[in-house]
Amino acid sequence: MSTVHSEPEGGRYRSVVALSYGHEVVVPAPVSVTLDTEVLEEYVR
């Protein structure tokens, strides 16, 4: 599972998105990239 935490506020994240491997994960600004998570599954036990 890939999880992206964003929109920090008051010591917490307002947005948390979790997707299974194989999906594209959009990392919001200021990073602003899209990651293909399919290859990450090779590193999970």
The set of residues, in sequence order, having a beta carbon less than 8 Å from that of 22 and lying 6+ positions away, is 37, 38, 41
Q: CB neighbours (10 Å) of residue 21?
A: 16
What token pair was written down for 24?
Answer: 């594209």
Domains in the chain, number: 1
Angstrom distances, CA of residue 13 to CA of 9, 16, 36, 39? 6, 7, 23, 26
3-class DSSP state of 7? strand
CA gap 31, 6 in Å, rounded = 11
Express each pLDDT in 23-38 by its tens digit: 998 888 889 999 999 9
- What does pLDDT average to over the chain? 90
Parent domain of 35: 2-43
Express each pLDDT in 17-26 by its tens digit: 899 999 998 8
pTM of the predicted structure, to 2 decimals? 0.64
